[in-house]
A and B are shown apart, each in its own frame.
Chain A
Amino acid sequence: MVFNKLKEKFKGLWADKKTPPPNQEEKKLLSRSLGKNEKYFRDTFNRCSDVIFRKFEVSVPDPVPVLMVYLDGLSSFIVGESVVRSLMNRYLKEKRRGDEPLAEHARDHLISVPEIKPEKDLGKLVDFVLSGDIILIMDGEPEGLVISSRGWEARSVSEPEAEPLVRGPRDGFTENIRTNTSLIRRRLKTSRLKLESLEIGSITKTAVIITYIDGIVNEKLVAEVRERLARIKTDSILESGYLEQFIEDNPWSLFSQVDVTERPDKVCGNLLEGRVAVLVDNTPFALIVPVLFLQFLQTPEDYYMRPFQASFLRALRLVTLNIALLLPSFYIAITTFHQEMLPTSLLLSIAQARSGVPFPALVEALLMEMAFEIVREAGIRLPSPMGQAVSIVASLVVGQAAVSAGLVSPAMLIVVALTAMASFSLPSSHATEAIRLLRFPIMFLAATLGLFGVMAGLLVILIHLCSLRSFGVPYLSPIAPLTLRDWKDVPVRAPWWAMFTRPRLIGYKEPQRQEFFQMPRPPKRRERKP
């Protein structure tokens, strides 16, 4: 009954939903009268101060009024100038044949701009203006001309700040999607590199480009990406993060099933393994699918270094992953349940240090972990000069003062500091996000059930990871399901001459990457120079 009353009361809300959205415009065609067209554009761009209307006359040979519409700041000034200059030239050498339409004549003989096309639809013409093209409408012509002139102020290509490398290319993606595609194209000089373009968002009309290498990629994967992107009905895509959440396999998972990068070399490496990248306009961050969990422990630099160092670093990251997730829980479990695991002398010193601490280990750990998370958040959001102040406050107050005040034990401080460093050492902030959140429930389990609780928590995570898929590829492969052939690139990094094949579950369309047996060898005795 109450429900019905509420329904009555909010009837208006439901009724509203049924009316069609107002942005659905009917397809209107260009009129032959310039006055009517001008009125349409003036009405459409009413109160838009950045739209510029320029009216002038072309004499070919009789004067014809022409309207030029473009957006100030989005269209290149040079192109606009060249269009106006070529049309207003009084001494036009070529005479127009009597039956040739003016628009066609202007396109073929007068305007010296590479990309130019006719368009009849008024709505589309408006869209072209909004994306930075110049449109030209002539009196008495059924078609307008769209002159490609997109050019605006943009950040130049610079080093990616979120993924710095010691050795490797220094260029990163920018906010301009064309610059980004050119950065990829420059590395993959093949016509097999495909860049499929589409538009998402009814207001933002964001350009999105699906890119892959034809022949290496699995077509089903591309079709799946296309379909998932086509499903998105929203008004705005401001960053690739919006897309990411729309296309994930399991949206309720803490673990990201899409990789994000601003490095063109990383995108190219992934495309060469048979993956698909999605570039989004106005953001330097591109998406890569499908992604495996262990990829989050890899950097592009692993492939530029010598294999031994790279393999060592990968092993190290596996260790730091476990430290970041488990060290506080282990400390809690051992100090509360399994004291016998510690050597006697260490146990005594820990007990001594903890003797003045009023809290149980769990509370102590939670306090310090929370303090660390707060410091971290404060450090990221503040402008860099103030970051120093945060670090001083953090190290003095949270560290030293907390110990000398007897709130926490020094051992706990070491544990938290190590955990923090370990979580910073993981290359992808995507991976650490889940680890950071999962640390807390496991700490509670450790405090209630000891190492058994920790193991139970880990098993739950394992079940979840095993059931995850990223665009159909099992998240934990090549470990589970086991693909020994791919282990050359996952726990270790084999030398490049040994990387014969692409990952089996992703790049099976063209499995062989290079010739076999290319190990460098000394020349045979006969061939040696005397």
Chain B
Amino acid sequence: MLESGKITPGQAGFLMIFTVLGTSNLVMPVLTSRYAQMDAWMTVILASLPHVLLIFVMNGIRKNFPQESIVSYLKKITGKYLGILIILGYLWYMIFTLTMINRTVSEFLLTSFMPETPIEVFIIVMLLLGAWVTKAGLEVLARVATFIMPLFLISFALIFLLLVGEFNFSYLTPVFEYGSKPVIRGAIYPTLWRGEYVLMLFLWPYLNTPEQGLRSLLQSAVIIVLVMLPITTASIAVFGPLTPHMYFPTFALVEYIELVGFITRIDAVFMAVWIAGAFVKIGIFYYCICLTLGEVLGLKDYRYIVYPVGIICGALTIFIAPNVAVFENLFPTVLIPMNLLFQYLMPLLILGLIYLRGLHKEKRGEGDGV
């Protein structure tokens, strides 16, 4: 294995919280309320079902191959060539998601703060930060996440607490105004975002106590619900029917905050904290790409390919869409099918193959012998 460091299950939970909340705080209420309208807050809860299922599926997969990385056990499950094909698919998924994250963050900075700065500046800065944390390794990435986590959570708590007075709960009623179908359709976006937990397939071998991973991942799933529910509720309760038509509603919420009469427009401070969160998310994806690609290519150290990967991702981030409108269009047309395939179908498929080929019994037999 290319990584010598180990992280604790708690740190893995922190990392996974960032993969979901790192960018979803910016855009999630818009995407869900486009379908579910004022019932958007329910989508958060609904999305927990596939999310928890995914965690259990991944736990089922890794139980059979406790000390192996996904690259090596996929070859055992599906055969060499198909395994590499699946891994390449995952690599493409991760590279594409990284560029989408990076573009979202950069667009956010561009439209909200510095409209005159070329977008390339943000793209390059974020990728450079990701490259450096990737070079520093998994342990450092986990520690950075641990350090930023409290700031990140406090920022959400502050939004909720400082805006309680502005809430208009009548926006939330009537519940199920358009029936339950839009809610289910709206739940697809939070489901996809939380499907990024699939990165645990790549990180699980590096836990120091892998058997506790399931517990801490479930805990982190609870934390995500506890954060996303208030945020979605807040943006609907404050902006009401306007929510689907905004770009970054959570951010607009922050602009709404006014503290003791003279502290206003503290959005720049929140922006700084959220950039830190988005940076961790970019770092995790970046790390997983380099680690997996390094293993597929048979390198001694994944650090050799950190900068080449960065150049590819940077160029892709710029070429992926000429403007925001085209970029937004990528979410339903490309992201949804791709994410559904790699986040949910593929792990299920792998688990199914393990059981079909009887690999789980083999492992258990060995375990009994020892």
Interface of A with B (CB < 8 Å)?
A: 333-334, 337-338, 340-341, 343, 346, 449-452, 454-456, 458-460, 462-463, 466-467, 474, 476, 479-482
Q: Could you tell me the distance between the alpha carbons of A441 and B55 in the complex, rounded to whole angstroms?
A: 43
Residues of A within 8 A of B147 (CB): 462, 466, 476, 479-480
Q: Could you tell me the distance between the alpha carbons of A122 and B301 in the complex, rounded to whole angstroms?
A: 54
Residues of B within 8 A of A479 (CB): 146-147
Interface centre among B11, B136, B140 (most CB of A within 10 A): B140
Q: Could you tell me the distance between the alpha carbons of A480 and B113 in the complex, rounded to whole angstroms?
A: 31
In the complex, number of A-B residue pairs with CB atoms less than 8 Å apart: 88
* 27 A–B contacts from the bound complex (CB under 8 Å): A337-B114, A338-B113, A338-B265, A340-B265, A341-B269, A343-B264, A449-B114, A450-B114, A450-B268, A451-B268, A451-B271, A452-B271, A455-B275, A455-B276, A460-B129, A462-B144, A462-B147, A462-B148, A463-B132, A463-B136, A466-B136, A466-B143, A467-B137, A480-B144, A481-B8, A481-B143, A482-B11
B356 within 8 A of A: no
Residues of B within 8 A of A482 (CB): 10-11, 146
Residues of A within 8 A of B114 (CB): 337, 449-450, 452
Residues of A within 8 A of B299 (CB): none
Residues of A within 8 A of B271 (CB): 451-452, 455
Residues of B within 8 A of A333 (CB): 268
Q: Could you tell me the distance between the alpha carbons of A343 and B263 in the complex, rounded to whole angstroms?
A: 7
Chain B residues within 8 Å of chain A by Cβ, number: 34
Residues of B within 8 A of A337 (CB): 113-114, 268
Q: Could you tell me the distance between the alpha carbons of A452 and B137 in the complex, rounded to whole angstroms?
A: 24
Closest to B145 in A: A480
Q: Could you tell me the distance between the alpha carbons of A476 and B140 in the complex, rounded to whole angstroms?
A: 10
Residues of B within 8 A of A338 (CB): 113, 265, 268
B325 within 8 A of A: no
The proximity string for B residues 267-296 relative to A, scoring 1 for CB distances below 8 Å and 0 otherwise, is: 011011001100100000000000000000
Residues of A within 8 A of B117 (CB): 449
Q: Could you tell me the distance between the alpha carbons of A481 and B8 in the complex, rounded to whole angstroms?
A: 9
B142 within 8 A of A: yes
Q: Could you tell me the distance between the alpha carbons of A523 and B120 in the complex, rounded to whole angstroms?
A: 71
B153 within 8 A of A: no
**Which secondary structure dominates chain A's binding surface?**
helix
Closest to B265 in A: A340
Q: Could you tell me the distance between the alpha carbons of A333 and B271 in the complex, rounded to whole angstroms?
A: 13
Q: Are B276 and A452 in contact (CB-based, < 8 A)?
A: no
Q: Are A452 and B275 in contact (CB-based, < 8 A)?
A: yes
Sort A-B residue pairs by CB-CB distance and give the 4 closest, nearest first. Answer: A480-B143, A466-B143, A480-B146, A455-B272
B246 within 8 A of A: no
Q: Are B265 and A449 in contact (CB-based, < 8 A)?
A: no
Q: Could you tell me the distance between the alpha carbons of A467 and B303 in the complex, rounded to whole angstroms?
A: 15
Partner of B272, one of A346, A452, A466: A452
Interface centre among B147, B266, B279 (most CB of A within 10 A): B147
Q: Are B262 and A476 in contact (CB-based, < 8 A)?
A: no
Closest to A481 in B: B143
Q: Could you tell me the distance between the alpha carbons of A338 and B269 in the complex, rounded to whole angstroms?
A: 10
Q: Are B113 and A463 in contact (CB-based, < 8 A)?
A: no
Q: Could you tell me the distance between the alpha carbons of A455 and B264 in the complex, rounded to whole angstroms?
A: 20
Measured CB to CB, the closest approach of chain B to A462, in angstroms, equals 6
Q: Are A463 and B129 in contact (CB-based, < 8 A)?
A: yes
B154 within 8 A of A: no
B202 within 8 A of A: no
Q: Could you tell me the distance between the alpha carbons of A454 and B275 in the complex, rounded to whole angstroms?
A: 11
Q: Are B109 and A481 in contact (CB-based, < 8 A)?
A: no
Residues of A within 8 A of B268 (CB): 333-334, 337-338, 341, 450-451
Residues of A within 8 A of B164 (CB): none
Interface centre among A338, A463, A474 (most CB of B within 10 A): A463
B176 within 8 A of A: no
Measured CB to CB, the closest approach of chain B to A18, in angstroms, equals 35
B28 within 8 A of A: no
Q: Could you tell me the distance between the alpha carbons of A450 and B125 in the complex, rounded to whole angstroms?
A: 13
Measured CB to CB, the closest approach of chain B to A329, in angstroms, equals 11
- Which B165-199 residues have a C-beta within 8 angstroms of A? none
Q: Are A341 and B276 in contact (CB-based, < 8 A)?
A: no
Q: Are B129 and A481 in contact (CB-based, < 8 A)?
A: no
Residues of A within 8 A of B269 (CB): 341, 451
B122 within 8 A of A: yes
Q: Could you tell me the distance between the alpha carbons of A468 and B133 in the complex, rounded to whole angstroms?
A: 13
Closest to B148 in A: A462
Assess A481 versus B276: contact at CB under 8 Å? Given A450-B268, A452-B122, A456-B129: no
Assess A467 versus B136: contact at CB under 8 Å? Given A341-B265, A459-B276: yes
Apart from the given pairs A337-B113, A340-B265, A451-B271, 17 other A-B contacts in the complex at a CB distance below 8 Å? A338-B265, A343-B262, A449-B121, A452-B109, A454-B272, A455-B275, A456-B125, A459-B279, A460-B129, A462-B147, A463-B136, A467-B137, A467-B140, A476-B147, A479-B146, A480-B144, A480-B146
Measured CB to CB, the closest approach of chain B to A497, in angstroms, equals 28
Q: Are B132 and A460 in contact (CB-based, < 8 A)?
A: yes
Q: Are B265 and A463 in contact (CB-based, < 8 A)?
A: no
Q: Could you tell me the distance between the alpha carbons of A178 and B113 in the complex, rounded to whole angstroms?
A: 62
Measured CB to CB, the closest approach of chain A to B144, in angstroms, equals 5
Residues of B within 8 A of A466 (CB): 136, 140, 143-144, 147
Residues of A within 8 A of B265 (CB): 338, 340-341
Partner of B129, one of A449, A451, A454, A459: A459
The proximity string for B residues 239-275 relative to A, scoring 1 for CB distances below 8 Å and 0 otherwise, is: 0000000000000000000000011111011011001
Q: Could you tell me the distance between the alpha carbons of A466 and B129 in the complex, rounded to whole angstroms?
A: 14
- Which B111-126 residues have a C-beta within 8 angstroms of A? 113-114, 117, 121-122, 125
Q: Could you tell me the distance between the alpha carbons of A456 and B148 in the complex, rounded to whole angstroms?
A: 13
Q: Could you tell me the distance between the alpha carbons of A341 and B255 in the complex, rounded to whole angstroms?
A: 10
Residues of B within 8 A of A452 (CB): 109, 113-114, 122, 125, 271-272, 275
Q: Could you tell me the distance between the alpha carbons of A474 and B136 in the complex, rounded to whole angstroms?
A: 13
Interface centre among A337, A455, A479 (most CB of B within 10 A): A455
Residues of A within 8 A of B125 (CB): 449, 452, 456
Q: Could you tell me the distance between the alpha carbons of A442 and B2 in the complex, rounded to whole angstroms?
A: 34
Residues of A within 8 A of B144 (CB): 459, 462-463, 466, 480
Q: Could you tell me the distance between the alpha carbons of A234 and B137 in the complex, rounded to whole angstroms?
A: 34
Assess A481 versus B142: contact at CB under 8 Å? Given A452-B272, A463-B132: yes
Closest to B142 in A: A481
Q: Could you tell me the distance between the alpha carbons of A337 and B265 in the complex, rounded to whole angstroms?
A: 13
Q: Could you tell me the distance between the alpha carbons of A482 and B146 in the complex, rounded to whole angstroms?
A: 7
Q: Could you tell me the distance between the alpha carbons of A451 and B263 in the complex, rounded to whole angstroms?
A: 17
- Which B91-127 residues have a C-beta within 8 angstroms of A? 109, 113-114, 117, 121-122, 125
Measured CB to CB, the closest approach of chain B to A253, in angstroms, equals 13
Measured CB to CB, the closest approach of chain A to B108, in angstroms, equals 11
Measured CB to CB, the closest approach of chain B to A218, in angstroms, equals 19
Q: Could you tell me the distance between the alpha carbons of A343 and B258 in the complex, rounded to whole angstroms?
A: 11
Q: Could you tell me the distance between the alpha carbons of A459 and B10 in the complex, rounded to whole angstroms?
A: 22
Q: Are A341 and B266 in contact (CB-based, < 8 A)?
A: yes
Measured CB to CB, the closest approach of chain B to A109, in angstroms, equals 65
Residues of B within 8 A of A480 (CB): 142-144, 146-147
Q: Are B140 and A481 in contact (CB-based, < 8 A)?
A: no
Residues of A within 8 A of B272 (CB): 451-452, 454-455
Residues of A within 8 A of B129 (CB): 456, 459-460, 463
Residues of A within 8 A of B264 (CB): 340-341, 343
Partner of A463, one of B109, B133, B142, B262: B133
